[in-house]
A and B are shown apart, each in its own frame.
Chain A
């Protein structure tokens, strides 16, 4: 069953967040930024270390 008070949390979707507000949905905007990029050589070392665990 899908019961309860609908509460929506929006991640990275300003356009749809506005559309939900217009419908009077109980909606909150969640802060989100992409995680910083890890250079590929470091990422491969980290990946190898994780695999060795």
Chain B
């Protein structure tokens, strides 16, 4: 085996682009390992975990190309191609139009300016503070932002009356336009706020299918409903959307006190709070509180004078008695969380890398257990694109597990929309029909991936396509055990 390293000094390249180059080179003959990343501390750890020894002089402002191949020539060829691809992709993309200092000159009093940030987490505070100072709302897609930075930014945003959407906010829809991962949904009078990206996507998609539309969908970041952050941006977003006819909030494991404060704010208006994972349903004032997205959507449709869903429940037929295990592979973290709750409520013990409680954390060897895996979690995306952007690795996991003779059911989500891959079924070819395959599509007929074609593609592979992620989890839970 031969290993080659190449440093590109002082060049910032978008991480998604670098990951796509990595993926492209991984498929080359004779190449066994590839890493193309900036030299940040976190990335150097990934290089080491991959078995590379990065040069000591590499800096976070540099890009490192590392290749292991069967020969010197093959490794050098891959390095050369990485350089070429990097040059080509960066010349294909438009050059920056302005600097951060010039942004203020590019919007006027009647505009709604939003700074979208997707840089490594440690740089976010400086960038976002400047934007807030200049009167812009901020959408922070980046994760790994220190908690102190998040709290300080949200305090500043609150003082200035500006939204700080994130950190780690996957989904925002304003004025019918999606920022981050979002679906093409109709405009309307329902305001959606949440700390859960794929949860917001599922809600807005189901509302759209039910004939309702949204005024806006504001992602507030995965930690906003924690006791430390105090729901500060969820509360502010609700104020901003107060002219909506109906309000919906969704969060994964919200802090009890924060949740009550928010329910108190909403309860004079028709509204729903989805506390993902909660098994109880209740009503407080005009607010319906539930753990299930489907129930909340039904309540919203009814409150808005629209017809509720006629959910179809598929009959569960097990392939044979020797197959007992359940597998769930998700690209949406909140859909994974909701599925676990539904499965557990139906009496099936399920483990996960994003579990409901510490007792259900997935162990190293999970082969003999029922599992739901969030393939967008950090341990699965180190040095790789998020599975919504590139679902191939997730889909190949489904194919691998489908070949086992003890798996009864494989559950998964397919997420369409802006930000998601064009070919969401890539890598799913060759899935075996031993276990029952159950999926839901989080998407609308207006999404770029063509909902009907995706549905047909899944059905052709023998997948039962359910009307929602919740319904899919219900069916899967009846097939396991």
Contacts and interface: CB of A to CB of B under 8 A. Distances in A.
| Interface range for A | 20 to 34
Contacts, number: 134
A12 B241 contact: no
B96 A30 contact: yes
Interface string A3-34: 11111111111111111101101001111111
A47 interface: no
Given A8-B179, A13-B117, A28-B98, A34 B60 contact: yes
Interface in B125-154: 127, 131, 136, 141
A2 B99 CA distance: 25
A35 B119 CA distance: 12
A41 interface: no
Interface stretch (B27-35, B104-112, B254-262, B324-332): B104-112
A14 B17 contact: yes
B16 A2 contact: no
B216 interface: yes
Contacts of A34: 12, 38, 40, 60-61, 119-120, 123
Contact of B117 (A11, A14, A31, A37): A11
Contacts of B284: none
A9 B136 CA distance: 10
A29 B94 contact: yes
Contacts of A19: 178, 418-419
A29 B175 CA distance: 20
A36 interface: yes
Given A20-B179, A31-B99, A5 B115 contact: no
B117 A5 contact: no
B114 A22 contact: no
Contacts of B242: 1
A30 B178 contact: no
A1 B418 contact: no
B100 interface: yes
A46 to B, nearest CB: 15
A23 B115 contact: no
A13 B113 contact: no
Given A11-B100, A23-B418, A28-B106, A5 B16 contact: no
A15 B115 contact: no
B118 A30 contact: no
B389 interface: yes
Contact of B116 (A1, A2, A16, A35): A16
Q: Which 3 A-B pairs have the closest CB atoms?
A: A4-B112, A13-B118, A31-B96
21 contacts: A2-B112, A4-B112, A5-B112, A6-B111, A7-B107, A7-B112, A7-B114, A8-B114, A9-B113, A12-B119, A13-B118, A15-B17, A16-B179, A16-B419, A20-B177, A28-B98, A28-B103, A30-B100, A32-B119, A33-B10, A36-B59
Interface of A: 1-20, 22-23, 25, 28-37
Interface of B: 10, 12, 14, 16-17, 38, 40, 59-61, 93-100, 103, 106-107, 110-120, 123, 127, 131, 136, 141, 174-175, 177-180, 216, 240-243, 389, 418-419, 448
